[in-house]
Amino acid sequence: MSEYVFFNDRLVPADEARVSIYDGGLLHGVGLFETMRSYGGRVFRLADHLDRLYHSARELQINITQKREELGGWIEVLLEANGLQDSRLRLTLTRGSIKNTDADSPGQSIMFITSGPMVGYPAEYYRRGMTVIISNFKQNPEDPTLKHKTINYLARLLALQQAQRKKAGEALWFTVHNQLAEGCVSNVFVVTKGRLRTPPVDTPVLPGIARKTVLELAGEKGVECEEKELHIKDLLSAQEVFLTNSIMELMPVCRIERHAVGKDKPGPVYKKLHDLYKQAAATECKE
């Protein structure tokens, strides 16, 4: 069966989708993306993903000509065309061709949506916990692209390669001011004395959709939580550490390089919140 993609407002075979050699994403890395997960044919927290996309497009001055209210229908058609229920999807937005455009005439943006079978992280990571490293790269709070999910991902990929060479699954970033920030592709939470904490968005970190969901679920279920500036001592003294993103959901971290976190196994707060997350996804995607 042919693989289909949505390219702007049309469903087309994947090998027929084309981007101009003058595309601003290709030439300058100007673009945004959303990685989403569908359960039973429906994207979990689609509205939150689109809120973030459209907000970032306004902040970074990337024109979106596609109508937001059409995107959910496009995704449903795409999943059906590809015969998918549980899927990993990516929506990519680029500035489009930079020829004959200026600040007052941003031109036609390009949006495409791809989907494929859901391939998650190894089950062993969830049973025994993931090992992570501390990246030697630093986040600069003055970088205007931070807090936005841009397609300029080379630094993150290089840090992930560092982690993989050390047999780890993720690399954690700190800021130039030595504040704990986030992973290459994830947000980070720590648990200390039963209290859940995560770096605030203005650290800066990406306002992750799974991150937002976890904070909501914790608040609803009486898990004390706060967004708080954190440092290396907070990370290393935590009883539990876990990561979040839409594909991994919640991922326990039991080793930070050679340092064991807590009892070197997934902890009770992680387990409770991961169960709640799965329940929320199952419930919301059936509605």
Domain co-membership, 168 together with 271: yes
Q: Among 67, 91, 117, identify where a domain stops.
A: 117
pLDDT confidence of 208, banded at 50, 70, 90? very high
Global pTM value: 0.95
Q: Is the dihedral of CA 157, 159, 163, 166 positive or negative?
A: positive
Residue 107 has pLDDT above 70, yes or no: no
Domain co-membership, 14 together with 91: yes
pLDDT confidence of 287, banded at 50, 70, 90? low
Q: Please, which residues have CB within 8 angstroms of residue 256's CB and are 6 or more apart in sequence?
A: 131, 132, 133, 134, 172, 235, 236, 241
Q: Which tens digit of pLDDT belongs to each residue from 191-202?
A: 999 999 999 999
The number of distinct structural domains making up the chain is 2
Residues 64 and 111 sit within 8 Å (Cβ to Cβ): yes
Taking CA atoms, 122 is separated from 70, 84, 119, in Å, by 35, 21, 9
Lowest mean pLDDT among 1-5, 152-156, 278-282: 1-5
Domain region containing 66: 4-117
Distance CA 102, CA 181 (A): 35
Domain co-membership, 144 together with 279: yes
Q: What pLDDT sits at residue 108?
A: 83
Distance CA 191, CA 189 (A): 7
Distance CA 234, CA 191 (A): 9
Distance CA 192, CA 239 (A): 6
What is the CATH number for 43? 3.30.470.10
pLDDT confidence of 104, banded at 50, 70, 90? low
Domain co-membership, 246 together with 130: yes
Q: Please, which residues have CB within 8 angstroms of residue 37's CB and are 6 or more apart in sequence?
A: 43, 44, 86, 87, 88, 89, 118, 246, 247, 281
> Which DSSP helix (H) or strand (E) runs through 125?
helix 123-128
Q: What pLDDT sits at residue 151?
A: 97
Domain co-membership, 78 together with 202: no
What is the CATH number for 272? 3.20.10.10
Q: Among 82, 100, 117, identify where a domain stops.
A: 117
Q: What pLDDT sits at residue 99?
A: 83
Domain co-membership, 161 together with 255: yes
Q: What pLDDT sits at residue 36?
A: 98
Sheet holding 31-39, edge to edge: 10-13, 4-7, 110-117, 87-94, 31-39, 42-43
Residue 101 has pLDDT above 90, yes or no: no
Q: Which tens digit of pLDDT belongs to each residue from 17-71?
A: 999 999 999 999 999 999 999 999 999 999 999 999 999 999 999 999 889 999 9
Domain co-membership, 228 together with 276: yes
Domain co-membership, 223 together with 268: yes
Domain co-membership, 168 together with 278: yes
Distance CA 254, CA 261 (A): 5
Q: Which amino acid is at 197?
A: R
